[in-house]
Structure formats: structure tokens, C-alpha cells
Amino acid sequence: MRSDAKIDYQHKALAAMKMAVDASGFERVKWVRLAQAWQDMARWQDVAGEREGRDAAAPSPSVVRADHD
């Protein structure tokens, strides 16, 4: 997959949760885990987008503290 391809991870997470609602047992667990993975990827995409949008902006104080712990 090309790195510049845009994937709607949030939409995929929602679709996986809808599948989880219709499933039961272990199938439900698998769909919920998949939804969680898509949700995490959506968060990472948001963070990466924020980083690209900044031009040498200073990191937030929480990031600076985490680097020094």
C-alpha cells in the first residue's frame, strides 16, 4: 500500500463494531479487537497529521516531560 493513501480508519472501526454487535462468543471478541486496532490507527494518523502540519513547532510540555522521565 502506498504511504500517501488515505484510509478512513474511524469508518473501519465503526464497521468492525457493527460486526461485533451481530456476532457472539469468540467472533465478537475478534471484531472488537479489530475495531480497537482501527481506532488506534486513526489516533496515530491524527497525531502524524498534526506533526506534518507544524513547521518546527515546539513540542507540548507533556511530551518534553515524557522524554526526560
Q: Residue 22: is its pLDDT beyond 60? A: yes
Domain ranges of the chain: 8-50
Residue whose C-alpha is closest to residue 7's, from 42, 39, 33, 35: 42
What is the CB neighbour count within 10 angstroms for residue 18? Answer: 12
| pTM: predicted TM-score of the whole model, two decimal places | 0.61
Burial of 38 (0-12, 13-18, 19+ CB in 10 A): buried
Write out pLDDT tens, residues 27-38: 999 999 999 999
* Mean local confidence (pLDDT), 39-68: 66
SS3 50: helix
